Amino acid sequence: MAGLPPAARLRRASDFAALRHAERWQGRHFLLRWRTTSEGNARLGLAVSRKVSKRAVERNRIKRVIRESFRAEREGLPALDILVIPRTSAAGTPNPVLFADLGLAWRKLKTLKPTPAPGTIGG
């Protein structure tokens, strides 16, 4: 299992703040927010709070599932900044079910029409 390169991660607070009023998709176990970016590739951010589970081991499992699913689909995704927020229902849900829910989200994002990122020509 290879790591997620820094270019594929949201790292700055401003990147996360820009997604506060972005487009969104709600699945059974996850909420996704996204916006187009001029970075050239899809970038992932995670927000897994203690509301999801008080147990760190459970929160870390959910983060591993999200990262692994994103790694598998990243090449096919458009240039988006994506924030994944798990719901409380994700805690205790088996990994294959979480992968399936994320698969729906990635398919939805792959069908998006590319739009210019804010701050670029045409955007």
* Mean pLDDT estimate for the chain: 90
23 forms bridges with which residues in the sheet? Answer: 34
Q: What is the pLDDT of residues 83-120, one digit of tens each?
A: 999 999 999 999 999 999 999 999 999 998 655 555 55
Q: Is 63 inside any structural domain?
A: yes
Distance from C-alpha of 120 to C-alpha of 116, rounded to nearest angstrom: 6
Q: Which pLDDT does position 100 carry in this prediction? A: 97
Which domain CATH number covers 47? Answer: 3.30.230.10
Q: What is the pLDDT of residues 43-92, one digit of tens each?
A: 999 999 999 999 999 999 999 999 999 999 999 999 999 999 999 999 99
- Domain ranges, residue 45: 22-110
Q: How many domains does the chain have?
A: 1
Q: H/E/C letters for each residue in 47-97?
A: CCCCCCCCCHHHHHHHHHHHHHHHHHHHHHCCCEEEEEEECHHHCCCCHHH
Q: Which pLDDT does position 121 carry in this prediction? A: 53
Full strand arrangement of the beta sheet holding 80-86: 23-26, 30-36, 80-86, 43-46
Query: Encoding tokens for residue 105?
Result: 């989200």
Q: Is 116 inside any structural domain?
A: no
Q: Is 33 inside any structural domain?
A: yes
The yes-or-no verdict on residue 2 having pLDDT over 80 is: no
**pTM to 2 decimals?**
0.88
